[in-house]
């Protein structure tokens, strides 16, 4: 997971750098109704992806740092038994929560990837439109010059 986190941070830096200034100004800024801009929605998806990876790494560090065997006759096991919580079930719940965070962090990669695809398609559309307009202008100039 740390490798994925480093790769994600690099990808986020590239996402912020996508397009030129006119493209970023086109997709950024709040709407009239106060909705977040498409630029912020894409950034939010990527930041969520990175934060979930961090949560996964923290869960792994926590479980690794606090892994120990409980003496069934010890005080901690006695307190857990007094609370009527079977120790083996408590371990299963902890494992389930940690693994769930890990899987969710990996699945948020889909949302982040689709967000990048969305921004790239917007940039491609804007660039294609710009090229068409330049061709129309050059054709018009050619027609005017030939008259």
| pLDDT score recorded for residue 147 | 66
Mean pLDDT score, 126-145:
85
| pLDDT score recorded for residue 112 | 83
Ramachandran angles phi, psi of 113, nearest 5°: -65, -45
| pLDDT score recorded for residue 63 | 79
pLDDT at 2 over 70: no
| Euclidean distance between CA atoms 121 and 20, whole angstroms | 14
Parse the chain into domains and list their residue ranges. Answer: 2-146
| Euclidean distance between CA atoms 55 and 93, whole angstroms | 17
Mean pLDDT score, 85-89:
73
Give pLDDT tens digits for 30-71.
Answer: 777 888 888 888 888 888 888 998 898 888 888 777 666 666
Largest Cα span, the chain: 101
């Amino acid at each position: 997971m740390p490798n994925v986190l480093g790769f994600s941070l690099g990808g986020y830096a590239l996402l912020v750098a996508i397009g030129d200034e006119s493209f970023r100004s086109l997709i950024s800024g709040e709407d009239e109704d106060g909705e977040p801009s498409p630029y912020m929605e894409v950034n939010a998806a990527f930041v969520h992806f990175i934060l979930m990876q961090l949560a996964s790494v923290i869960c792994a560090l926590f479980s690794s740092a606090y892994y120990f065997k409980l003496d069934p006759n010890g005080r901690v096991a006695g307190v857990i038994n007094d609370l009527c919580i079977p120790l083996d079930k408590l371990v299963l719940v902890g494992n389930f929560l940690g693994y769930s965070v890990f899987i969710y962090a990996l699945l948020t990669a889909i949302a982040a990837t689709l967000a990048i695809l969305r921004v790239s398609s917007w940039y491609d559309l804007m660039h294609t439109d710009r090229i068409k307009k330049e061709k129309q202008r050059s054709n018009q100039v050619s027609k005017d010059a030939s008259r």
